[in-house]
Amino acid sequence: MLRDVQEVTTETSVLGTGIAFPMLVAPMAYQRHAHPDGECAMAQGAAAAGTIMCMSTMATSSPAEVGASAPDAPRWYQLYVFRDDGVTRSLVDQAVDAGFRAIVLTVDAPYFGRRERDIRTGWMIPDDPPVPALAAALGGMRQTTVVEHFKLVTAGLSWKDVERISSDSGLPVLVKGVQTAEDALLAVEHGAAGVVVSNHGGRQLDGVAASIEMLPEVVDAVGAETEVLVDGGIRRGTDVAIALALGAHAVLVGRPVLWGLAVDGAAGAQRVLELLRDELALALGLLGCTSPDELTRAHVGRAL
Ligand SMILES: Cc1cc2nc3c(=O)[nH]c(=O)nc-3n(C[C@H](O)[C@H](O)[C@H](O)COP(=O)(O)O)c2cc1C
């Protein structure tokens, strides 16, 4: 209290790239099922709000299309690694050619989680629209369903692949799906530029801790040198503030932005990001902070 908070900024940077607020769009597959303009609109919404979109391997637009729809905006590419090295190489090449600046390597999905709600509703991802990057990597426009997609993903990924993917692509790699201090340290040891503490929105393994619970031990393990991002359940500006106070450099936001996209395309995604930005600015000001990096663990306490 009684700290001059007339000027509050939410601006920050991730891996050296300036962004308007410490939130990025989480990788989410198949966005043209949410809105006909899909990933291209998401890229435009993120760019208009001033942040980075992380595009999924399972995107229903190609890296080139997404790059062209927001050419000046920084963008990251989420990678699933395939059993066939040639497929993975082709995907990475497409991302590099389209100007993606970092690889977010998802490591918590060697198998597709058993998602009982999906099973109950019987909802299946239709084959159309296809996943063009994967179709190109597989050679020709062969279309595959989500279950088939995941059958092509390797369960044989290991830590040495982190270094290989970084040197093959020439891009920094963030490891997404880290849940413990031990794995965070292994990620750093194997050349990761950052880690994303995540349990895939709770949709992979039953019984794992919430990512916000795992965050402090990861931050303490890797130290200030490694950027730690977190996702899962960020729904309010105060959620972002809590994550930053616990040591996250930035957060990824998934479903809220997807719902924004579904409602109103690029403008809807932008609006959700801006609502979260404004809520964060308010939380910072009310916590006596003028910028995200003034948040500390002293600003949070465990609810009894
Ligand atoms: C519809 C949907 C699709 C997703 N697809 C991917 C994906 O392709 N790759 C990935 O690494 N994570 C994927 N995720 C997980 C998100 O990146 C994120 O970890 C998770 O949704 C938690 O954030 P949230 O609670 O803000 O949604 C997906 C999540 C959703 C909801």
Give tens-digit pLDDT for 200-249: 999 899 999 999 999 999 999 999 999 999 999 999 999 999 999 999 99
pLDDT at 149: 81
Residue 176 near ligand 1, beta carbon < 6 Å: yes
CA distances 99 to 6, 111, 134, Å, are 38, 29, 18
Q: How far is the CA of 27 from the centre of ligand 1 (A)?
A: 6
Residue 253 near ligand 1, beta carbon < 6 Å: yes
Q: How far is the CA of 290 from the centre of ligand 1 (A)?
A: 31
pLDDT at 297: 97
Residue 57: pLDDT above 70? yes
pLDDT at 127: 79
Ligand 1 atom 6: residue of nearest CA:
28
The ligand 1 atom nearest the CA atom of 59: 8
Could you tell me the pLDDT band of residue 161, with boundaries at 50, 70 and 90? Answer: very high
Query: Which residue in the block uniquely carries the two structure tokens 């990861």?
Result: 218
pLDDT at 122: 85
Lowest mean pLDDT among 118-127, 154-163, 281-290: 118-127
Residue 29 near ligand 1, beta carbon < 6 Å: yes
Ligand 1 atom 5: residue of nearest CA:
28
Name 263's Cβ contacts closer than 8 Å, sequence gap at least 6.
none
Lowest mean pLDDT among 22-26, 137-141, 232-236: 137-141
Residue 44 near ligand 1, beta carbon < 6 Å: no
Q: How far is the CA of 298 from the centre of ligand 1 (A)?
A: 30
Residue 94 near ligand 1, beta carbon < 6 Å: no
Contact of 155 with 111, CB cutoff 8 Å: yes
Classify 24 as helix, strand or coil.
Answer: strand
Entry pTM? 0.97
pLDDT at 142: 62
pLDDT at 146: 76
Residue 304: pLDDT above 90? no
Per-residue DSSP letters for 39-108?
HHHHHHHHHHHT-PEEEPTT-SS-HHHHHHHSTTS-EEEEEPPBSSHHHHHHHHHHHHHTT--EEEEE-S
- Say what percent of the chain tops pLDDT 90: 87
Catalytically active residues, by annotation: 200
Exposed/middle/buried for 93, CB within 10 Å: 0-12, 13-18, 19+? middle
pLDDT at 123: 78
Residue 134 near ligand 1, beta carbon < 6 Å: no
pLDDT at 144: 66
Q: How far is the CA of 7 from the centre of ligand 1 (A)?
A: 34
Enclosing H/E stretch for 250 = strand 250-253
Residue range 185-190: average pLDDT?
98
Residue 46 near ligand 1, beta carbon < 6 Å: no
Backbone torsions φ then ψ of 121, nearest 5 degrees? -80, -20
Query: Ligand 1 pocket: which of 104, 134, 200, 229 to mutate (most atoms <8 Å of CB)?
Result: 200
Q: What is the mean pLDDT of the chain?
A: 95
Residue 141: pLDDT above 60? no
Q: How far is the CA of 80 from the centre of ligand 1 (A)?
A: 13
Could you tell me the pLDDT band of residue 90, with boundaries at 50, 70 and 90? Answer: very high
Residue 42: pLDDT above 90? yes
